[in-house]
Amino acid sequence: MAEESLELGEITISDWYGHADKMAEVRFRTIARRLPSLVRQAMGVAWQASPRDTLYAIILNVLGGVFTAFGLLATTGVLTALFTTGPTIDRVVAALPSLALVAAAAALRATVQAGAGWAQSRLNPQIARLTEENLYGLTSRVTLVSFDDPDFHDALERATSRGMYVASTVVASAIDVLTAAVGLTAVAGVLGVLHPALLPLLVLAVVPDAWAAVRSARMRYTTEYALIPARRRKWIIGKLLAEREAAAEVRAFTMRGFLLRMYDAVATAEQDVRLGLARRQAITRLIGEALGGVGAALVYIALGVLLAVAAIPLAVAGTAVLAIKSAQTSLANLMYATNQLYEEGLYFTDFTGFLTFCSDERRLPGARPAAALAGFGRITAGNVTFTYPGSDTPALCDVSLEIGRGEVIAFVGENGSGKSTLAKILAGLYAPDSGTVLWDDVDLADVDPDAARRRIAVIAQDHTRWPLTARYNITMGADRGEAVLHAAAAVAGADDVIADLPHGYRTLLDRRFKDGHELSGGQWQRIAVARGVHREADLLICDEPTAALDARAEHAAFEGIRHHAGDRTVLLITHRLASVRYADRIYVLEHGKIIEQGSHSALMALDGLYADLYTLQAAAYR
């Protein structure tokens, strides 16, 4: 078969490189202006993670700069002794005290730098833990409606894709900036002590290196921005070649060769761009080195002039050369750390901004305890209206209903009628835009949300397949004893599923892990039903709880739920209307409004939407 020609179209920019366009356009003055703010933010995170290690890292790095300066000053004493007249042995002996000071300064600098590195290596895992806990602690508390908001998802993606992971890098870069700045300051101080005229020579020596570093960094950022589509495409193709989801079709349609050709085309294009970058950076470095050579020549000429006019002694000139070399190294480190801090700081700002957004957005806990809901007689929704973020049409409009304790209530209607939305509002998962949900005379909005939800159980159609053991998939960490666990599994028909597992309730239900086991869709649904029953909640909401079950298992599950409910209230949402015939009351929703309500027989006699839907389904079985 002929090979199909490749079409490599444009693709969406990955959030991992979402700020590369800013870095491509930024000037160093912009970076310098924002630097103090970024350093303060980074140090704030470090301090929150570990005040002790943060202090150690900063103090030890500053001491490293101090010992560098001390060593340079001691070098002047060595050179002064060596350059005096007299026998060589006498000059060496005279230089020994200064040599000892130089050696001590070098040893102390190496020691404190090792200590600073140790403190920074301790900070990294603590910062990673802190940032992850902060993020997940807030994302698990924001209101459920946030996850229906596109802006929230965009912010979440930016925060989790890179922002969360750069915190330790930002802190390390901030410390590197401080360290390099201290080094430069120390050298400048030494030159100022030796002779004020030496300070301009420092500027002359480091400016070419600074220009080359900034220009090379801008080239790299601009290139990375241009490569975003290619890298994104490589990532997508790599996932198709290496991950489970596409593995079957890759083999069934023999796509391996096609995908590898596509990957090679993108990788080759990326390689060519990177080779061009290497060439341009090499030219920039060459120009920088050439200018640096001119600067160095001017420095040496200036030192020669100062020596000729006896403005400085030879020993001071030698120390100045060493100091300027040290300053060039510190400058290179400063340029790299500054660019790194600015770039990563943009993503870190995404992360901190998202945390602030979550803190401001999340629903504040109500003042009343959940005990206020205990032993309710009825649940009343009054004039409830709710609209999803970004939507112009309300999902619910002025809905009112009443549910008595111990009743079996059913919500029916076509897709998009508002059944699940209304159930989530009754469960306190969504807060209505207007209207109230009362348990007797207690407004659900006035009760602590987490405590209130412990009295509510939800069996969702899109239930989560938790990568936990079978036991934890039912108990959700709430141990109510073996009797309750086994009873819940029996009601849902999950006991037969668990009996066939290799390790029973201790079997890990995720094949991605060693000894993990995978369940079918119907088996997972039985586990989800058992999960809701095990909670023994006052209100049990069943949202399409048997969609993946066969007819026999569905009938058994509904019978089990109905008999197990006792005086608990059951709210049933389903498209299978044969399952709601025995509900105490059925609410029929259409376009976010309740248009019919009553028992099965009453609604059939009404000959409205419910009767029409029921008749259509019944006809399919004749």
Q: What is the pTM of this model?
A: 0.65
CA 543 from centroid of its chain's CA atoms: 31
pLDDT in tens, 95-105: 778 778 878 88
- Higher-confidence residue: 386 or 491? 386
Task: Look up tokens 């709430």; give the residue.
Answer: 478
* 437 three-state secondary structure: strand
What average pLDDT does range 49-58 have in this prediction?
Answer: 89
What average pLDDT does range 258-282 have in this prediction?
Answer: 86
pLDDT in tens, 17-44: 555 555 445 555 666 677 777 778 778 8
What average pLDDT does range 518-525 have in this prediction?
Answer: 85
Query: Where does 480-599 have alpha helices with state H?
Result: 482-492, 494-499, 521-534, 551-565
The mean pLDDT value of the chain amounts to 79
pLDDT given at position 622:
61
- Higher-confidence residue: 244 or 466? 466
Q: Are 460 and 547 in contact (CB under 8 A)?
A: no
pLDDT given at position 52:
92
What average pLDDT does range 111-119 have in this prediction?
Answer: 88
Domain ranges of the chain: 16-195+336-361, 197-311
pLDDT in tens, 160-180: 767 777 788 888 888 888 888
Q: Are 82 and 92 in contact (CB under 8 A)?
A: yes
The lowest-confidence range among 253-262, 271-280, 453-462 is 453-462
- pLDDT band of residue 45 (cuts 50, 70, 90) is confident
Residue 587 has pLDDT above 70, yes or no: yes
Residue 429 has pLDDT above 80, yes or no: yes
- H or E stretch covering 123: helix 88-139
d(Cα 460, Cα 413) in Å, to the nearest integer?
Answer: 17
AA identity, residue 575? H
Nearest to 539 by CA among 622, 412, 423: 423
Nearest to 455 by CA among 437, 443, 439: 439
d(Cα 596, Cα 590) in Å, to the nearest integer?
Answer: 9
What average pLDDT does range 307-322 have in this prediction?
Answer: 74
d(Cα 451, Cα 453) in Å, to the nearest integer?
Answer: 5
- Which two tokens mark 415? 């897709």
pLDDT given at position 12:
43
Q: Are 205 and 296 in contact (CB under 8 A)?
A: yes
Which residues have a Cβ under 8 Å from the Cβ of 23 and sit 6 or more positions away?
A: 221, 224, 225, 342, 343, 346
pLDDT in tens, 173-220: 888 888 888 877 877 777 777 777 766 776 777 777 767 776 776 677
CA 207 from centroid of its chain's CA atoms: 39
- H or E stretch covering 428: none
Please report the sign of the dihedral spanned by the C-alpha atoms of residue 247, residue 251, residue 253, residue 255.
positive
Where does residue 411 fall: left (phi above 0), alpha (psi -120 to 50 degrees), or beta otherwise?
Answer: beta
Highest mean pLDDT among 158-167, 347-356, 379-388: 379-388
pLDDT given at position 13:
42
Residue 9 has pLDDT above 60, yes or no: no
Residue 385 has pLDDT above 90, yes or no: yes
C-alpha atoms less than 13 angstroms from C-alpha of 71 in its C-beta half-sphere: 19
The lowest-confidence range among 243-247, 258-262, 291-295, 558-562 is 558-562
Q: Are 354 and 159 in contact (CB under 8 A)?
A: yes
Residue 504 has pLDDT above 70, yes or no: yes
d(Cα 302, Cα 296) in Å, to the nearest integer?
Answer: 10
pLDDT given at position 2:
45
- pLDDT band of residue 386 (cuts 50, 70, 90) is very high
Q: Are 227 and 270 in contact (CB under 8 A)?
A: yes
pLDDT given at position 397:
92
Which residues have a Cβ under 8 Å from the Cβ of 342 and sit 6 or more positions away?
A: 23, 26, 31, 34, 35, 38
- Which two tokens mark 20? 């590369």
pLDDT in tens, 524-582: 888 888 888 888 888 888 887 766 566 666 666 677 777 776 778 888 888 777 778 78
Nearest to 456 by CA among 388, 558, 398, 531: 531
